[in-house]
């Protein structure tokens, strides 16, 4: 940072290509945000350049608007800058609720964008929240990722949004409605008659298997290096947030043990999932003998054939093997409406003490 520049409070980075960031939304927000503090991006390169400018100008906070993808981009850009400049003062990352899924916005308690912007500019205190991230073998960081059905669903959701992008119904099909249509009419029909490949999942570090015993979710210790799962499963995903898009509690054990992420492997038949989607799956209460939950520090997923995968809600192509680990350092996030993050510990140690 140029020492002659006085530290500034907050910059606002808006993804102009995000489905919910319409021209009308941009006009309303531009009236609230000082011109020098507003950054609009129309491409990945432009967004990265804006983030570097925000860091160099010494902002204390960067609030991202455009969904989880925009926030994950900012997290990775700031993290890379920190690696290259270890002594640099970096902005904390906040979220404006402007995306379609808004997993991070929900976690940080973001309200309406207009209200939050006014609160920020009026000097409302901003809390700091340390959020653990999942890291790929390429160093990418994200609060959730998956391979298989959810990766394919993200691709289909994008195609539905693209069809209605220029229509009056754009907002409807960029919401949970479009997500549902993509799943029911595009992804599921392909899945019904498809023979799934054999998957192999293992960890190199100690693991805890979550299992319901007498109606209580308990932790069972598994030594490192063991195969956690081998077989066919349409969904394998990891997360450090309890809920993903639209409040779906996909990772109910994400905050149970510090320093671990929630690995969920679902071999549950699709009709059973549909039948129990709401409320039990949606609220994170669903349990099944073919649903395997683990708390892991790292995990390797191998497949007989390439499968679609998603990172932070964005489709990322196809992989036959992928590696995830919990990040060494949490990311400092900014929250105007901080929520207490509950960390649950087992009622009693089953096989080993806490690590």
Could you tell me the CATH number of the domain that includes residue 272?
A: 2.60.200.40
Same domain? 262 vs 172: yes
Residue 77 and residue 200 share a domain: no
With a CB cutoff of 8 Å and minimum separation 6, the contacts of 210 are: 217, 218, 219, 220, 253, 256, 293, 294, 295
Does 344 map to a domain?
no
pLDDT of residue 41: 93
- Look at residue 202 and tell me if it is in a domain: yes
Boundary (domain end) residue, out of 92, 124, 156:
124
Please give the C-alpha separations between residue 83 and each of 133, 139, 214, in angstroms, as whole numbers.
16, 11, 47
Residue 130 exposed, middle or buried by CB count within 10 Å (0-12, 13-18, 19+) = exposed
DSSP letter at 276? T
d(CA 1, CA 148): 42
- Does residue 160 sit in the same domain as residue 71? no
Q: Average model confidence (pLDDT) for the chain? A: 84
Let me know whether 117 and 153 are in one domain: no
Average pLDDT over residues 309-336: 90
The DSSP secondary structure of 121-173, one letter per residue, reads HTT---EEEEE--EEETT--EESEEEEEHHHHHHHHHHHHHHHTTTSTTHHHH
Q: In the prediction, which pLDDT does 298 show?
A: 97
> Which CATH number is 17's domain given?
3.40.50.10330
The reply to whether 180 and 108 lie within a common domain is no
104 & 209 share domain? no
Q: Are residues 117 and 148 in the same domain?
A: no
With respect to residue 79, please indicate whether it lies within any of the assigned structural domains: yes
| Look-up of token digits 């790292």 | 298
Indicate the number of domains in the chain.
Answer: 2
Could you tell me if 168 and 308 lie in one domain? yes
- Domain encompassing residue 198: 141-329
Q: Do 255 and 164 fall within a single domain?
A: yes
pLDDT at 176: 59
Is residue 352 a part of any domain in this protein?
no
- Is the residue at 334 inside a domain? no
Q: Looking at the predicted structure, is the pLDDT value of residue 158 above 80?
A: no
Across the range 202-221, mean pLDDT stands at: 95
Q: Is residue 291 part of a domain?
A: yes
Has residue 145 got a pLDDT over 50? Answer: yes
Does 294 lie in the same domain as 247?
A: yes
Residue with tokens 């500019």: 121
Q: Is the pLDDT of residue 12 over 90?
A: yes
Most confident of the ranges 72-76, 311-315, 317-321: 72-76
Regarding whether 147 and 112 lie in a shared domain, the answer is no
* Domain match, 267 and 301 both: yes
Q: Which two tokens stand for residue 257?
A: 């043990």
Which is more confidently placed, 154 or 208?
Answer: 208
What's the CA dihedral at 144, 289, 286, 224 to 10 degrees?
A: -30
Residue 289 has pLDDT above 70, yes or no: yes
Residue 91 has which token pair?
A: 């902005």
């Amino acid at each position: 940072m140029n020492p002659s520049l006085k530290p500034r409070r907050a910059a606002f980075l808006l993804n102009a290509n995000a489905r919910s960031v319409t021209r009308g939304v941009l006009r309303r927000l531009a009236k609230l945000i000082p011109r020098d503090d507003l950054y609009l991006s129309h491409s990945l390169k432009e967004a990265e350049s804006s983030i570097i400018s925000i860091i160099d100008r010494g902002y204390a906070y960067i609030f991202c608007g455009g969904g989880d993808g925009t926030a994950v981009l900012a997290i990775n850009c700031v993290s890379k800058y920190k690696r290259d400049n270890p002594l640099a003062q970096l902005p904390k990352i906040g979220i404006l609720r402007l995306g379609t899924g808004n997993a991070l916005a929900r976690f940080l308690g973001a309200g309406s964008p207009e209200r939050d912007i006014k609160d920020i500019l009026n000097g409302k205190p901003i809390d700091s929240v340390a959020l653990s991230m999942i890291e790929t073998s390429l160093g990418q960081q994200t609060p959730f990722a998956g391979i298989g059905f959810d990766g394919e669903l993200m691709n289909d959701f994008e195609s539905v949004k693209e069809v209605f992008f220029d229509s009056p119904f754009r907002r409807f099909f960029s919401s949970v409605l479009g997500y549902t249509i993509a799943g029911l009419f595009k992804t599921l029909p392909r899945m019904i008659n498809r023979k799934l490949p054999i998957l192999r999942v293992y960890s190199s570090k100690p693991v805890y298997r979550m299992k319901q015993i007498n109606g209580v979710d308990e932790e069972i210790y598994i030594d490192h290096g063991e195969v956690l799962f081998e077989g066919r499963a349409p969904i394998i995903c990891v997360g450090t947030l309890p809920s993903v898009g639209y409040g779906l509690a996909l990772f109910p054990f994400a905050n149970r043990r510090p320093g671990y992420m929630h690995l969920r492997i679902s071999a549950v038949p699709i009709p059973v999932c549909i039948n129990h989607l709401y409320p039990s799956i949606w609220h994170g209460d669903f349990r099944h003998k073919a649903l395997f939950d683990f708390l892991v520090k790292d995990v390797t997923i191998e497949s007989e054939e390439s499968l679609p995968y998603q990172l932070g809600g964005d489709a990322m192509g196809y992989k036959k093997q992928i590696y995830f680990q919990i990040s060494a350092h949490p990311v400092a996030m900014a929250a105007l409406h901080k929520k207490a993050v509950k960390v649950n510990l087992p009622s009693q140690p089953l096989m080993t003490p806490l690590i």
